[in-house]
Amino acid sequence: MSKKYFLDEEELPREWYNILPDLPEPLPPPLNPATGKPVSPEDLEPIFPKELIRQEVSQERFIPIPEEVLEVYRIWRPTPLIRATRLEKALRTPARIYYKYEGVSPPGSHKPNTAVAQAYYNAREGVARLTTETGAGQWGSALSFATMLFGLKLTVYMVRVSYQQKPYRAILMQTWGAEVVPSPSNRTKAGRAFLEKDPEHPGSLGIAISEALEDAIEHEDTKYSLGSVLNHVLLHQTIIGLEAIKQMQALDEFPDIVIGCVGGGSNFAGISYPFYYLVRSGKAPKKTRFLAVEPASCPSMTKGEYMYDFGDTARLTPLLKMYTLGHDFVPPPIHAGGLRYHGAAPTLSLLKKAGIFESVAYNQVEVFEAARLFARTEGIVPAPESAHAIKAVIDEALEAKRKGEEKVILFNLSGHGLLDLAAYREFLEGRLPAHEYPAEAIQKSIAKIKEYLLARGIQP
């Protein structure tokens, strides 16, 4: 039997799944930091197109995918569901391990699932240019690909340390027609402030978000696009889990545990939320567990606090209630750049707070060991971000072996690592540092935002 399971193109899901009506309690609203009051949809109009704002707060459970978006999805979707039989054998585990492989998209990750939808809605509403930030370069390349398809211009603020470590990502974006600016840059007030403090500043996702937002707010024909964290982004990613449900049903399988890595939370939400829906609505045959995996050096859900915080370092975004390490915490420059974010999506944070979702954190050396085993068994070289999920999968499979359990494990292989080979070289040569949990810096950063909120009469 083949161990690769494709859906027929005709079976591509026609609707995304919106988790908002199915949360265990209402999502605390985003707050305007100036007033401490919930932000109104109009507050967001300088930044996002109307349809995305509508989706951000929608209580409709299923939202139709426009035909123009499906048309593009068909380039690489449905993505395959693959059984990792060789990894199972190497681990001698009775567990059955399946993965959804999102690395087959043209940019090589799950990110175009939302990039394409966002570019489409912006183009339909007459926007000429988008701005965005990128960490590892995956989001920037996904949005470059998507804006090219819908005739929009794009400016990408790329975290400087990634720009230096991953020059090929920038070349990919430029090939698709985007303008790439290392961040912090002197294009914006936010960027200039950081450069004054440190001309060699390595940058962070938070700083790059500040720059991209400022650029969009200052230009009439320009809007901003975010690759994770927000409800509408997670919504678009649910195509992953909706496909996986059909693929597993065809095999008469259902996961005991669903695993994914978490930066802002979009790929993990994408694979897990549709399964959560089945479990919550009593349609699932099992009480599935959901496990989010993070880097030990930036463990927002595992070691952060559930409280209101800014989404960016320059305090330009609304306050979001989420697990956070504090918005001015700058994590060490690990190779899973896409996981270096101080917060986690509000819906995912709420599910963790409610005890429904779990999280775990690993250092990058153990993560690369897992990546190497995966490459040497399954062949695919995973993105360092995705390798976090693989490390957790291996631990779960080994536990199943100890207990003699026939557990079914499903995980999201969010992208390939073929543009991350410099990181693999460092690992193979034994030069990769196993950054530990920076407890003191995080405590300081959390204390600071708490003080900020309390001084303004906002309950953290």
Ligand X SMILES: *Cc1c(COP(=O)(O)O)cnc(C)c1O
Binding of ligand X by 155 (CB under 6 A): no
The residue number with the shortest CB distance to ligand X is: 415
Contact, 140 vs 419, CB < 8 A? Answer: no
Binding of ligand X by 55 (CB under 6 A): no
Which stretch in 49-57, 63-71, 83-91, 263-271 sits in contact with ligand X by CB under 6 A?
Answer: 263-271
Least distance to ligand X, CB of residue 368, Å:
15
Q: Which of the residues 160 through 219 are near ligand X (CB under 6 A)?
A: none
Binding of ligand X by 18 (CB under 6 A): no
Binding of ligand X by 132 (CB under 6 A): no
Q: Which of the residues 412 through 451 are near ligand X (CB under 6 A)?
A: 414-415
Considering only 79, 210, 228, 364, the residue that binds ligand X (CB under 6 A) is: 228
Contacts with ligand X, 94-123, as mask; x by CB under 6 A:
---------------x-x------------
Binding of ligand X by 236 (CB under 6 A): no
Binding of ligand X by 262 (CB under 6 A): yes
Considering only 386, 400, 407, 423, the residue that binds ligand X (CB under 6 A) is: 386
Binding of ligand X by 261 (CB under 6 A): yes
Contacts with ligand X, 295-334, as mask; x by CB under 6 A:
----------------------------------------
Taking the least distance from each CB to ligand X, the nearer of 228 and 313 is: 228
Q: Which of the residues 335 through 354 are near ligand X (CB under 6 A)?
A: 338-339
Taking the least distance from each CB to ligand X, the nearer of 127 and 230 is: 230
Which stretch in 204-212, 264-272, 283-291, 437-445 sits in contact with ligand X by CB under 6 A?
Answer: 264-272
Considering only 264, 295, 311, 343, the residue that binds ligand X (CB under 6 A) is: 264
Residues 6 or more apart from 440 whose CB is under 8 A from it?
A: none
Provide the binding-site residues for ligand X, judged by CB under 6 A.
109, 111, 136, 138-139, 228, 261-268, 338-339, 383, 385-386, 414-415
